[in-house]
Structures are given as C-alpha cells and as structure tokens.
A and B are shown apart, each in its own frame.
Chain A
Amino acid sequence: MTSIWDRYPDLSPSELRNLVAATAQVLAGSADRSELPADPIEISTGEAARELTASIDMLSADERGVVQELLEDDDTAIELCHVVLGEVRRHPELASAVAQTYEERSRKMTGAELLLLAGALVVLATRIKEIRAGKGGTKITFSESGEVVKAFLAGLVASLRGLG
C-alpha cells in the first residue's frame, strides 16, 4: 500500500493541510501532555507566536508579531511545515504513525482540512522532547528535531530584522 510519504513533498495544498493536521494529531497524542499547552492543535497563530517567543531563546517577546505574521503568511507557513515534516520523516515509526492517521482521516465523510495548522505544528515540534510512537510504543527522542525547527524559525525572524 502506498503511503502519503511516497509522494512527499509533491503534495497538493489540500494534501499538505491534511498531512500537517495528521502530524499534529500524532505529535499531540504521543507526547507527555504536561509538556504541551491545553488543546495544542486548536491553538491560534497568536497564541502559538506567544508560546514560541517564550520558549525559544533566540527570539524575544517583542518579536511575537513577526512570528505570528510568519505563521499566517502562506509561503513561510508552508516552509515551516515542511521543516517539521522533514524532521518527522527522519523517524520511521513516527512517519508511519502519521501516515496511518492520514489514511484514517481519509476514511471519514468529512470535508477536507481547510486550515494549514502551521502554528500548532511548530509549537508541538518545538515543545516535545520525547515521543512514543508505533504499536510497540517506541521511544523517539525528538528534541534534536525540535532544535532544527527552532533554528529555522529563528533564522526566518532574523532575516526580517531591520526590514521594518
């Protein structure tokens, strides 16, 4: 059976939104809840920006607006999502759990995901240290991946400093 990862990154916008949502579901469900804000997938971009500026040393609190803009801009939000998805893909058990959730979502008679949940995905990726994924509950250290995402986001913010 083919997996959504077989076609990655050549996905339609709708497929990408669904993959991001499925990844957020898996990350939120596999991590220690005490590490996460309440209902992390429901988080707004404003809240996500506040979380990110508070938890990433390379960002300051007054850059919250910039982070929010990055999460709301189509191009940068997609870039951020690809960075997280790229990290997820590096862990086969995690990637497999995401693919399974993606497939399960496609069995539902619901409309497709209409929002790109970039804020939720980035917050989850940067907050989670460890994940238990797959049937055996394999322990995956995700903190290094989180650092990659933090550095990428900080780089995006830095590139905008002084442009205002």
Chain B
Amino acid sequence: MQARVASHASTVRVGDLRVAMLHYGVGTEHVYATLIDEDGSPRSTRLAAVEQVAQPVERLSRMLRAPTRYPPAELTEALHGFSADWGRRLLPPPEVLAGYDVLVVVPHHFLHDLPLQVVRTGDADECIANRFGVSFCSSATLLQRAAGRNPARADGVAQWRFPLTAGAGGSDGAPDPPALCCALGVDVLGGDARYGELARSCAGHFPDRRLIMSRDGLKSPVVRQADVICLVCHGVTNAQEHDDSGLLLVAQPGSRSELTIALHLGQPFFFRDLPLRYLPPQLEVAPQFQSGQQPELMTITEVRTLVETRAQLVMLLGCSTATGQLRSGDSYASLAYQWLQAGAVSVLGHQWEADFPFVAGWVPVFLDNWVRRRQPKAIAVRDALNRVLDDGLVSRDALHLWGAVVLLGDWI
C-alpha cells in the first residue's frame, strides 16, 4: 500500500488527507469492521471468527498487562505472531485500506486491549503505525467530543498545509501552534535526573512553559489552561483495583494546596489536596524522596474526580498509561482515556511498558513534527516513529520497544 498523498507531494493540505474511521464490532461469532470515510459511506467487512482469535487475544492482553511476568523472548514472539499472523485477520483487507492516510480506530470489546498499530499491513515489515497516521478512541461519542473541542479544527482547517518530509518547506495556513506547556518529570524510584530533563526538553518546544513541581500542581489554574501537559514519570498498574493505577509523582514541598469544591447549594468547601491513595508500601523510593518532597500517586480515580483540562495534547510518558480495563457499556478505563474524558483533545500514552531511552529519543522528533512543522498529531507520530526507526534508535523488529506508543482522541 502506498500513502496516497505521501508519494507525490512534499507539502500536503489537511483537506487532501484521506481519513477513515475504522469502527469495530465484536459479535458472537465474528469480528466486524466498518470503514467509514470522509463522505460517511460505510463499508463493512466480516473479519476473524471470534473463536479463532479469543484465545490469542486473551493471552496477548495478559502478557501486555504484565510484561515482566514473561520471558522477554516470549513477549517478543507473541507480538510478532500478532503483528505478522493472526492480528492481520483483525484488519480489513489491504485493498480496502489502500489510499487512506489516517485511520481513526474505534475498538470494541476485547479489541481495546490490542496494539493494532503493530499489525503488518503487507508482506514487508511495515506496520499500521508506520503506514498510517493512527489514533484510537474507545467510542465514537468520546471522539466527537474530543474533536469538537480541538482549537486546531477552526475554520479553514482543510487549507492547513504542512510538510511531509524534512526540508520540504514550512507549514502554511496552519492554526497557531500550542503556546503553553506544563511539564513535570520525576523518577521517584531511581532518582534518574533524565526524567526531569526530558520534561524540560519537551516544554522547551513551546514559547510559554511552566515546570510543575507536584501532583497537586496538576490541578492548578495554569495547568487547567495549558495547551500541552507533559508528564514523564513511572506508571503503576494495580491489577486488583484498576482505578488505583496511576502515576508516581511527588507532593508539593511545604504546605499543601487546597481544593475548592462546591458541595451544597453552590457553597464552596475547602479540602486539603491529599492523594486519594497511598503509594504501595513495598515501593522503595530514591534517597532524595525519603525526606523532603514525598512521592505521591495520582490515580485514575483522582483524574476522574478532580482534574479538568483543555489541553490539545496530554503526554503521559510512563509505563502502561494507556492500559485499561473493559467496563460496562464497552467503556474502557485507562489513565489515558481518563485524561481524554477530563477534557483533553488528544492523549499520548503507552499500551505497555515504556522504554526510557526510546521515549527520550522519539518524543523530541514528534514534538518537532507537531509544533514546528505543524503536522497533525497522528501524522507527526507516524513520521517521528519512522524517522527514529530509520535512524536506528531501535530496530523495526523491536515491536516491544516502539509499538507501545498510542495516540488517543482527535488525530489533528
């Protein structure tokens, strides 16, 4: 398959991109995918039989939820089996996808857990994430809300022209780039200063930047107004109580901030902003966090209850930030989706472990693509992945290192 616009143009209009929504349905006997293009014309395809894929899906999902519980070679083998073999049965035939540039995937049921972005598109080693701009959204309703609040979708978005290749000129007619970035980077377990440096480096792509010092700082008015939020930290997964999964951050030094919550007839009440859950007691924190700034966990429940944002992009650069749990009504609870529901337009997360050297290598390329070259986010993710893979940051075969990256929400 060849990108329709990528093959002949150095700059591309957003309006010329061919975008399709790939809307899945898992039936009792088969998996179905409906491809809906810009005209709204649906094209349904019956895919794999459920009984053929249910077992491998369950196994791969289990492995991706707890990759350290499996030998690395077994995880690699499972991902490759999915990518080159049975995962392809979960995609419409290549000729149906041919010609599209962007896929917006709305999974259903067990498909929420799968990294469809690493499925190979053809006989070569090109995967969905290398060929298409891809974004995922757990439901079409959430996608519509995310897209509806995207300031980049103002009038004239179709005329927005951006370069596809390096050195192909600048953007034209693009909306103003995001201005305010709030960033927080902390490694409370290893005390690795590179987490903070990466957060600062991400913030450096934006004209107005604020470094946030703490978990409670993420609820401050300035963060609520931020165009971009970048968090570089450890992710913690709680298999028993998934809503207690979250990010390992730190407390505000000194006095606690207060939350103002209107509880009764609009009457404001003031609460100390304590974390909703303590850290798992077994966690050993780095010496610098044993006194002074205390580590704190920001859970999915806390984001659901207390976080509001209008960010165009929330970057959750930590392990398993997009790993979720299927809930009733086919909703999918993950930290990344929770930020989307809190008001973000798009969220960047990881479906399993994040490898720090890879993250530190590809994120600056992505930000350059998105902020300076003004590529739409999904295209910026695709091109950044391809660039670092071409440059040998990691091997294309190392799906377990690069394949975890997912963009959720609006693709622009």
Whether A111 contacts B234 in the complex (CB less than 8 A), given A12-B284, A13-B284, A14-B284, comes out as yes
**CB-CB < 8 A to A30: which residues of B?**
71
Q: Mark A3-30, 1 if CB is under 8 A from B, else 0.
A: 0000000001110010001000110111
**CB-CB < 8 A to B319: which residues of A?**
108-111
**CB-CB < 8 A to A26: which residues of B?**
71
Interface status of A39 (Cβ within 8 A of chain B): yes
Nearest CB in chain A: distance from B255 CB, A: 28
Q: Say whether B354 contacts A114, CB under 8 Å.
A: no
Q: Which of A91-128 contact B (CB under 8 A)?
A: 101, 104-115
Interface status of A52 (Cβ within 8 A of chain B): no
**CB-CB < 8 A to B353: which residues of A?**
108-110
Q: In the complex, A106→B62 CA distance in Å?
A: 21
Q: In the complex, A104→B320 CA distance in Å?
A: 17
Nearest CB in chain A: distance from B266 CB, A: 40
Q: In the complex, A110→B187 CA distance in Å?
A: 10
**CB-CB < 8 A to B355: which residues of A?**
107-109
Instruction: Among B69, B70, B73, B248, point to the contact of A111 (Cβ < 8 A).
Output: B248
Give the residue name and chain of the B residue nearest to A27 (CB): B71
Interface status of B110 (Cβ within 8 A of chain A): no
Nearest CB in chain A: distance from B119 CB, A: 23
**CB-CB < 8 A to A42: which residues of B?**
66, 69
Q: In the complex, A88→B176 CA distance in Å?
A: 59
Q: A-B contact count, CB below 8 Å?
A: 85
Interface status of A41 (Cβ within 8 A of chain B): yes
Q: Mark B346-362, 1 if CB is under 8 A from A, else 0.
A: 00001001111101000
**CB-CB < 8 A to A14: which residues of B?**
189, 282-284
Give the residue name and chain of the A residue nearest to B355 (CB): A107
Q: Which of A12, A14, A105, A110 has the most CB of B within 10 A?
A: A110
Q: In the complex, A101→B73 CA distance in Å?
A: 11
Give the residue name and chain of the B residue nearest to A42 (CB): B69
How many residues of chain B have a CB within 8 Å of chain A? 34
Q: Which of A59-109 contact B (CB under 8 A)?
A: 101, 104-109
Q: Mark B49-77, 1 if CB is under 8 A from A, else 0.
A: 00000000000001000101111111000
Whether A25 contacts B68 in the complex (CB less than 8 A), given A106-B190, A109-B359, comes out as yes
Give the residue name and chain of the B residue nearest to A31 (CB): B71
Q: Which of B187-233 contact A (CB under 8 A)?
A: 189-190, 195, 232-233
Q: Say whether A41 contacts B190, CB under 8 Å.
A: no
**CB-CB < 8 A to B133: which residues of A?**
none
Q: In the complex, A21→B66 CA distance in Å?
A: 12
Q: Which of A101, A109, A114 has the most CB of B within 10 A?
A: A109
Q: Say whether A110 contacts B280, CB under 8 Å.
A: no
**CB-CB < 8 A to B235: which residues of A?**
109-111
Interface status of B236 (Cβ within 8 A of chain A): yes
**CB-CB < 8 A to A28: which residues of B?**
70-71, 74
Instruction: Among B72, B190, B280, point to the contact of A114 (Cβ < 8 A).
Output: B280
Interface status of B317 (Cβ within 8 A of chain A): yes
Nearest CB in chain B: distance from A59 CB, A: 26
Q: Say whether A25 contacts B71, CB under 8 Å.
A: yes
Q: Which of B275-328 contact A (CB under 8 A)?
A: 280, 282-284, 317-320
Nearest CB in chain A: distance from B59 CB, A: 9
**CB-CB < 8 A to A104: which residues of B?**
72
Whether A111 contacts B356 in the complex (CB less than 8 A), given A14-B282, A25-B71, A41-B69, comes out as no
Nearest CB in chain A: distance from B128 CB, A: 24
Interface status of B237 (Cβ within 8 A of chain A): yes
Instruction: Among A25, A106, A109, A112, point to the contact of B318 (Cβ < 8 A).
Output: A109
Q: Say whether A111 contacts B71, CB under 8 Å.
A: no
Q: Say whether B282 contacts A17, CB under 8 Å.
A: yes
Q: Say whether A111 contacts B189, CB under 8 Å.
A: yes
Give the residue name and chain of the A residue nearest to B284 (CB): A14
**CB-CB < 8 A to A112: which residues of B?**
189, 282-284
Instruction: Among A25, A107, A115, point to the contact of B70 (Cβ < 8 A).
Output: A25
Q: Say whether B282 contacts A110, CB under 8 Å.
A: no
Give the residue name and chain of the A residue nearest to B233 (CB): A109
For the complex with contacts A12-B284, A28-B74, 4 further pairs of A-B residues with Cβ separation under 8 Å are A39-B70, A107-B357, A109-B353, A110-B319
14 contacts between A and B (CB under 8 A): A12-B284, A14-B283, A14-B284, A41-B70, A106-B190, A108-B68, A108-B319, A109-B359, A110-B234, A110-B320, A110-B353, A111-B237, A112-B283, A114-B282
The 6 closest A-B pairs by CB, nearest first: A29-B71, A110-B319, A14-B284, A111-B236, A109-B354, A108-B353
